[in-house]
């Protein structure tokens, strides 16, 4: 049961914002902030008013039902309306609770995604490549912009590691449940006996943060430059263009050598470091908040096995919500991705509601 005062405060806030926005004296920056807040409230205000009027409506219907002079036909209509009113009230309560849940400030941020080949040798690197292609296809379908930050290829044509920035609308809220160990079961091309092999890749999704979101003290950084290795032409291998940034207080280290320019490598490295530090702090806060409860979703634990892609059976299973989709090919093409994401989001919301 939501306290009546909480809902009344929402309605009062909506009225106050409406009044503020109609004022000619309102500051432009303040106008933008209040407009956003007003727009968000608009989505729920009708439900809030219905929720408040529930007791009054119920009382009126009960008067009809308790009145001995009421004919049977009218009583049947009142009973039906009472039942519908209670059902609607339960739905409205759930919607209001979801609206009142603490908002994750990172949900609307862009994201940095890191994919690394895990156990399974070359087959794991091929699977890491498949996962990256899947996220590329999802990005294309959603009109997101994906930009490579760094990439390391394997001998088999797969990926040892790839880091990319994804920009667009509500990126992190869509991709945040992808963090963890993704396992694949399939027959490798090199397998002559037709045996199914199991290998894995890890995915980490972090909010992309700007300097204004996270201040890093220059004195806390050690920056080393070195000669980049691997292919890339003469200028890559003969100049100290590669950069290694170490955040001394946490020991976090980022190396970047994809660009020929030391300046560009440092800028990309700082982008990754900011994201990792921000996520480290978020994880610490989340851990403190959840000491008294266990949740299956949204922990972001990179060591947790979250999903299995089984090729012989053509299925993809998310172990956190026990959901299996027999649409493996469509999933890897980005077609059934939303179906999985929506189920994960709904389950996470349910867990949050239960923990209120």
- CA distances from residue 196 to 98, 129, 325 in whole angstroms, order as listed: 43, 19, 20
Q: How many residues comprise the chain?
A: 356
pLDDT at residue 33, rounded to an integer: 82
Which residues of the chain does CATH 3.30.70.1660 include? 111-209+297-354
218-288 in CATH: which number? 3.30.160.20
Percent of the chain predicted with pLDDT > 70: 91
**Radius of gyration of the chain measured on its C-alpha atoms:** 26
pTM over 0.85: no
Q: What pLDDT digit, counting tens, does each position of 161-177 carry?
A: 999 999 998 899 999 99
Classified by CATH at the fold level, domain 111-209+297-354 comes out as Alpha-Beta Plaits (3.30.70)
Q: What pLDDT digit, counting tens, does each position of 301-347 carry?
A: 556 799 999 999 999 999 999 999 999 999 999 999 999 998 998 88
Exposed, middle or buried by CB within 10 Å (0-12, 13-18, 19+), for 50?
A: middle
Q: What pLDDT digit, counting tens, does each position of 60-96 carry?
A: 998 888 888 888 889 899 899 999 999 999 999 888 9
Which residues of the chain does CATH 3.30.160.20 include? 218-288
> Is pLDDT at 258 greater than 60 in this prediction?
yes
Q: Which DSSP string do the residues of 30-90 spell out, in sequence order?
A: HHHHHHHHHHHHHHHHHHHHHHHTHHHHHHHHHHHHH-TTS-HHHHHHHHHHHHHHHHHHH
pLDDT (average), residues 283-299: 60
């Amino acid at each position: 049961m939501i306290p009546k005062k909480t809902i009344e405060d929402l309605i009062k806030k909506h009225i106050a914002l409406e009044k503020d926005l109609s004022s000619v004296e309102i500051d432009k920056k303040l106008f933008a902030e209040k407009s956003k807040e007003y727009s968000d409230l608009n989505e729920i205000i009708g439900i809030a008013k219905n929720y408040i009027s529930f007791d009054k409506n119920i009382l009126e219907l009960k008067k009809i039902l308790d009145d001995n002079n009421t004919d049977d036909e009218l009583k049947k209509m009142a009973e039906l309306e009472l039942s519908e009113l209670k059902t609607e009230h339960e739905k409205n309560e759930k919607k209001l609770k979801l609206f009142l849940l603490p908002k994750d400030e990172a949900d609307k941020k862009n994201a940095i995604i890191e994919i690394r080949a895990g156990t399974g040798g070359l087959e794991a690197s091929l699977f890491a490549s498949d996962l990256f292609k899947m996220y590329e296809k999802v990005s294309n379908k959603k009109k997101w912009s994906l930009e490579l930050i760094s990439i390391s290829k394997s001998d088999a044509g797969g990926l040892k590691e790839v880091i990319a920035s994804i920009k667009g609308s509500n990126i992190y809220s869509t991709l945040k449940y992808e963090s963890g160990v993704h396992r694949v079961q399939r027959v490798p091309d090199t397998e002559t006996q037709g045996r199914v092999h199991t290998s894995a890749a890890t995915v980490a999704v972090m909010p992309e943060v700007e300097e204004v979101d996270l201040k890093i003290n220059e004195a806390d950084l050690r920056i080393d430059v070195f000669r980049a290795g691997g292919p890339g032409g003469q200028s890559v291998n003969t100049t100290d263009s590669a950069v290694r940034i170490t955040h001394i207080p946490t020991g976090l280290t980022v190396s970047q050598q994809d660009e020929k320019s030391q300046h560009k490598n440092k800028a990309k490295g700082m982008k990754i470091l900011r994201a990792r530090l921000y996520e480290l702090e978020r994880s610490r806060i989340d851990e403190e908040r959840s000491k008294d409860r266990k949740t299956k979703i949204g922990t972001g634990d990179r060591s947790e096995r979250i999903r299995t892609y089984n090729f012989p059976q053509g299925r993809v299973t998310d172990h956190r919500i026990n959901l299996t989709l027999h649409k493996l090919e469509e999933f890897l093409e980005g077609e059934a991705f939303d179906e999985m994401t929506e189920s994960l989001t709904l389950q996470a919301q349910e867990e949050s509601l239960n923990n209120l």
